[in-house]
Amino acid sequence: MTRKFFLIFLLIWTMTDSFAERQRIALNDSWEFYPALHVGSQKPLPTAVSLPHTWNNTDVLHSTDYLRTTMWYKRTIHIDEQTANAKRIFLYFHGVNSMATVYVNKNMAGEHKGGYTAFCLEITPYIKYGENILEILVSNAFRTDIAPVTGDFNVFGGIHRPVELIITDKNCISPLDYASSGVYLKQSNVTDKNADLEIITKLSVTDMAHDLRVRSIVTDAGADTLAILETAPDNWFECRQTLSIENPTLWNGRKNPYMYNVRVHLIQDNKIIDEVVQKTGFRYFNIDKSEGFFLNGEYLDLYGFGKHEDIEGKGSAMSKEDIAGDFEIIEESGATAVRMTHYPHSDIAYDICDSLGLIVWTEIPNVGPGGFLGPGYFPTAEFQEHLKTVLKEMIRQKYNHPSVIFWGLFNELNFNYDCPVAFMNDLNIIAKQEDPSRKTAFATFIQDTLFDSTADLIAYNKYYGWYQGHARDYGKFLDDVHALHEKPIGISEYGAGGSINHHDNPSEKPKSGGKWHPEEYQAWCHEHVWEQMHDRKFVWCKFIWNFADFSSSVKNEGDRFGINDKGLVTYDRKVRKDAFYFYKANWNPEPMLHITSKRDSLKSSVSDIKVYTNLKEAVLYVNGNKISKKSRDELCRIHWSDIPLEKGENYIVVEGKTNGKKYVDSCKWYVQ
């Protein structure tokens, strides 16, 4: 994907939902920030910040006891007289981690639990003409009623996603239905001949002395109108409309992520007073226990990455450009799917997946401790109600995205404490009530059938070659769990740690929790796991852990404290590790070749040279001398053994050709 495309995409994203009678005003600048619990001063000096913002993007890399506390955010907004007297005003938060209490002019307007779903509050009763004070009390302190309560990642505190002011007429399409768009696009009976679409519009009506109608307009990607339907609402709260699209162009993953636009108008006394625009893509899918995943009737191998919202220097306060940059790298890899772990991500991520054709698994932060101590689930009424709310928020906020196929209910819960199965069944029922059209899934490391009732699909987090066994054990494991379960099985996590600063014999398994994580071993482990995994079609998903290195205060291994280095890209996104190029060669048909172990520049006088390439063959040159031409194997590798090198500097060049074009990679190695 070109940079130009991303800039255009970001511009379109910022314009979505704009209309004359509905204003969306960004409130990301001019905030003051100061601690809630301050010592020695009644009036602490504030720090000027812009959103998205987190207060612990660096301390999580230095201490297991990172800052989990409470802070204030404060700013003013100016409201003109006409707006103050005749409009409704809402605050829309895309994400505040983890607990937010909102005050407007010293009045408590509401609160929200959970850092990874949006929430919207109406603040009309508290607004006045002129200057208004917004104060947000934010806490990421550990609590047993807010998820996640554990996990191998950090809970960054702050308003870590954007904030908007929404201004509407007295009657409007509701932004208060779990902070959704207020418009739900429910597709059914989809084929390449026809697609049925039900448009459900939620209304918020405070002035009933008017004639109201809802008009829905469906246009194709070229902006040509395909259908217009105008009806009176079913009641003051909702309008349901149904229509059909003949011969739809299907949303077909990476092949053709075709999107339609749905423009919904609220009409009052023959005047449009509100508008919401949503996109959709028509598709159908199924998952077979033996044959895997099918999109629009064709087999699709789902492979890609688990992904955190976390980047060096910013933590989870990632900008639109940061997120777009991540997906540019994911697109480069050739991935067909992504797992948004371990919580719902920013809206921009799902918009990009829609546009790229990436299949999405998205999940709530119902996370177990993995191999660490402590429960991830508390059987209290407060915690259970919180998880139910977060699940409804996620489903309603992400409902219209065609890329989203799987709702994730939990990750790595265990039975060392209270058994969570009964409540996970309850979550599955809620998910099916909210959206029966998609599949539910969970990720586990427990090789048992205890959780089988809790979701449609099963996936395993298993690290053969790293935490247990040998990488070559993966095939037997896959066959065993395929036979064990009556439902389809997938792989939600696999991989190994890898540091670009550590280099060693790839066949020597390092200690997973130790300080030595050679890049060569990470690539070697992925090669051997993928060799056993790629041709087993019954594995309905194959997700690498992880797209990029991420911060985790429980980690003290590899070359940096507080970093989980299983990513195939470095935390700062500046370096793609060798394992990334292994998958690029296997997943992306665009011609490429890459010499491995480039960073291991000190070599012995006789060394092996390995290349990842999807070219049929390549030629090796050492110090200008042609060594030999070799063909790649079925996993896109070429290996030259026992190549003599000269003392001092050696110039390594590998060349290949396809369709008359030459591809070259090179490096310098040294022999002492």
The backbone torsions φ and ψ at residue 391, rounded to the nearest 5 degrees and listed phi first, read: -60, -45
Cis status of the peptide bond prior to 546, with omega within 30 of 0: yes
C-alpha Rg value of the chain to the nearest Å: 26
Cα separation, 671 vs 602, in Å, equals: 6
Calculated CA dihedral for residues 545, 546, 547, 550, nearest 10 degrees = 170
Q: Do residues 407 and 362 make contact, with C-beta atoms less than 8 angstroms apart?
A: yes
- 243 CB neighbour count, 10 Å cutoff: 16
Q: Do residues 204 and 174 make contact, with C-beta atoms less than 8 angstroms apart?
A: yes
Q: Tokens standing for 249?
A: 């162009």
- 660 CB neighbour count, 10 Å cutoff: 5
Give the DSSP letter string of 218-282. EE-TT--EEEEEEE--SSSSEEEEEEEEESPPPEEGGGEE--EEEEEEEEETTEEEEEEEEEE--
| From 122, 312, 393, 412, active-site residue | 412
Cis status of the peptide bond prior to 308, with omega within 30 of 0: no
Nearest to 570 by CA among 554, 548, 587: 548
Q: Tokens standing for 353?
A: 């997946």
Determine if residue 473 is left, alpha or beta; phi over 0 gives left, psi from -120 to 50 gives alpha, anything else beta.
alpha
Cα separation, 105 vs 129, in Å, equals: 12
Positions of E strands within 65-211: 70-79, 88-93, 99-104, 107-113, 119-122, 130-139, 163-168, 171-173, 183-188, 194-205
SS3 446: coil
Cα separation, 304 vs 540, in Å, equals: 12
Give the DSSP letter string of 72-100. EEEEEEEE-HHHHHH-EEEEEES--BSEE
The backbone torsions φ and ψ at residue 219, rounded to the nearest 5 degrees and listed phi first, read: -125, 155
Cα separation, 545 vs 154, in Å, equals: 16
- The answer to whether 332 is a known catalytic residue is no
Report the relative pairing of strands 617-622 and 163-168 from DSSP bridges. unpaired
SS3 581: helix
Cα separation, 372 vs 334, in Å, equals: 33
Q: Which amino acid is at 580?
A: F
The catalytic residues are: 412
